[in-house]
Amino acid sequence: MKSIFFSVVVASLFMGLLGCGNAERHNARQKFKEAVAAIKVRTQGATYSEFRQAELDLKTSQEVNKTYLDDVRAQFASLDTIMTATDYLWSESIRYPRFEFISMFGDKTVFQAIHVITPDTHIADKIDDYTPDQRRKDPDSYVMTYVHRGLTEISDQADGLLNLLEKQK
């Protein structure tokens, strides 16, 4: 009788622990999903500081909850890369407001960030041959063009990540 009682107690404790693990997983994924939704919102009309805060919150949420997010690791890595490139270009445009054209930045990192956001761009090849008039007429010459493209890509990838998280409850 004691053996049966002991088995029932152990089994109950074990099942309780499993239940807590599922609740923990659900809560972690819910917090991450909320952070993904927040970055999506911040791609539409937010200031740089609002975007930056949402980006940091999402990266923190992913880091804190990564044990429960293995199934979305690749999607987050892609989103993180785009967010980092967009953040860099946006911060540089604020840091150097008079440098509206990408050719004014002597930094190769600007072109690397541009290629992350728009891999098929050839702006680095043609920018040196532009006249000032051509530069003004080509939207690809402006840093903020790539910031806007990055924000659009972040929004799209956030949608995909939210859909994936919704399917895998």
Mean pLDDT, the chain, whole residue set: 83
> Within a 10 A sphere around the Cβ of 90, how many other Cβ atoms?
22
Q: CA torsion angle for 79, 83, 84, 89 (degrees, to 10)?
A: 140
pLDDT of residue 119: 87
The counts of H helices and E strands in the chain are: 7, 0
pLDDT of residue 74: 95
User: Mean pLDDT over residues 79-84, rounded?
Assistant: 97
DSSP state of 101: B
Given a cut of 60, is residue 15 above it in pLDDT? no
Is residue 162 within 8 A of residue 33, CB to CB? The reply is: yes
> pLDDT digit string (tens) for 102-145?
666 667 888 889 889 988 877 766 766 777 787 777 777 788 89
Domain boundaries, the chain: 2-167
Whole-model pTM: value is 0.80
Interatomic CA distance for residues 34 and 27, integer angstroms = 11
